[in-house]
Amino acid sequence: MLNSIIKHSGLILLFVAFTACGALDTQNSSFVTTSNGRLALNDTSAEEKIIGDNDLTPVLQNGANIPEKYGAMINAFGIMSMGCTATHIGNGIAITAGHCFQGRVSEERQNNVPCGTSTIIEWGYRKDAPAYLKSKCVTILALEKNKNRDYAIFTLDNIPTASVEVDLSARPVDKTAITIFGFPQKRPLEWSKTCELRPGSIGKWGADMFSHQCDTEPGNSGSTVIDDTTLKIIGIHDGGLAPWNYGTYLVNTPLQEILNKK
């Protein structure tokens, strides 16, 4: 996130607010226009999306330095060529944030949109291990980015060896323990440790969004939010403005509809 103090006409404006992939996040914030035409956030409480101590932990090749229960899933996370994180959920289907596909972003749901030829995902890239597989995004099955939802569901040409199960039964309850894996700042895979899922209203996010305080950085956009007990995906991390990061509930995406057609 970029933080710079802009002084104009005696006012001190805090210029901030990028989403987790680095795009300006104006969704839930109050902005003013400075004399040079830039947007400045009229909120001196805005901070980075590392909340408190930095808990981001590099994942070693075989996951030896993280809890054993996560070992089977670490090859299911991929770094996307645009700098976001994707997760393979099985059968060549992956999920990420909608705003990661900047050229395709739409407030209305889009279906079956060609990915083009430039979106590459590298799977299993870690601090002491190169990616074991490269895939291309083939078709964006559904995509949406608005004040209530931010997701993308797409297919792959090369299917990763690992996947993470999804939970589409219901929204998780308040204070569910969650965890996140991703590629902050395009670094190798890192683990956020755990935090609690809280209502979206706490962070003033959208109707189909939740708040959390797991550490993220630019590049974590699209990281899946995983129930730390069931180890199933319950959401997609989208961005944040301290003290609350936010994500989209998986049950409020059309994933179930898409899986029913397969």
One domain for residues 144 and 218: no
One domain for residues 158 and 171: no
| Tokens 């083009």 belong to residue | 116
State residue 118's pLDDT score.
86
One domain for residues 136 and 170: no
Tokens of 7: 């002084």
In the predicted model, is pLDDT for residue 226 greater than 90?
yes
H or E element that contains 258: helix 255-261
State residue 2's pLDDT score.
34
pLDDT-derived band at 45 (thresholds 50, 70, 90) equals very low
- Please tell me the least confidently modeled range out of 41-55, 158-172, 188-202: 41-55
| Cβ atoms < 10 Å from Cβ of 115 | 19
> Which backbone phi and psi does 76 adopt, to 5 degrees?
-90, 0
One domain for residues 117 and 153: yes
* Secondary structure (3-state) at 51: coil
One domain for residues 125 and 177: no
CATH number of the domain that residue 227 is part of: 2.40.10.10
* Secondary structure (3-state) at 100: helix
In the predicted model, is pLDDT for residue 159 greater than 60?
yes
Residue 55 lies in a domain: no
What is the percent of the chain with per-residue pLDDT over 70, rounded to a whole number? 82
Domain count, the chain: 3
Mean pLDDT, residues 72-98 taken together: 97
User: Across all residues in the chain, what is the average pLDDT?
Assistant: 84
In the predicted model, is pLDDT for residue 96 greater than 90?
yes
Tokens of 77: 């996370």
State residue 40's pLDDT score.
29
Residue 59 lies in a domain: no
pLDDT-derived band at 188 (thresholds 50, 70, 90) equals very high
One domain for residues 192 and 157: no
What is the percent of the chain with per-residue pLDDT over 90, rounded to a whole number? 74
pLDDT-derived band at 97 (thresholds 50, 70, 90) equals very high
Residue 220 lies in a domain: yes
One domain for residues 107 and 155: yes
State residue 177's pLDDT score.
98
Residue 62 lies in a domain: no
Structural domain span for residue 19: 4-41
In the predicted model, is pLDDT for residue 187 greater than 70?
yes
Helices (H), 37-183: none
One domain for residues 195 and 234: yes
Residue 46 lies in a domain: no
The model's pLDDT over 99-123, given as tens digits with 9 standing for 90+, comes to 999 888 889 999 999 997 789 999 9
The model's pLDDT over 232-256, given as tens digits with 9 standing for 90+, comes to 999 999 999 889 999 999 999 999 9
CB 248 within 8 A of CB 240: no
Residue 67 lies in a domain: no
In the predicted model, is pLDDT for residue 38 greater than 50?
no
In the predicted model, is pLDDT for residue 185 greater than 90?
yes
State residue 116's pLDDT score.
78
State residue 39's pLDDT score.
29
Sign of CA dihedral 169, 171, 174, 179: positive
One domain for residues 224 and 149: no
Kindly report the pTM of this predicted structure.
Answer: 0.82
State residue 102's pLDDT score.
85
The more confident residue out of 8 and 139 is: 139
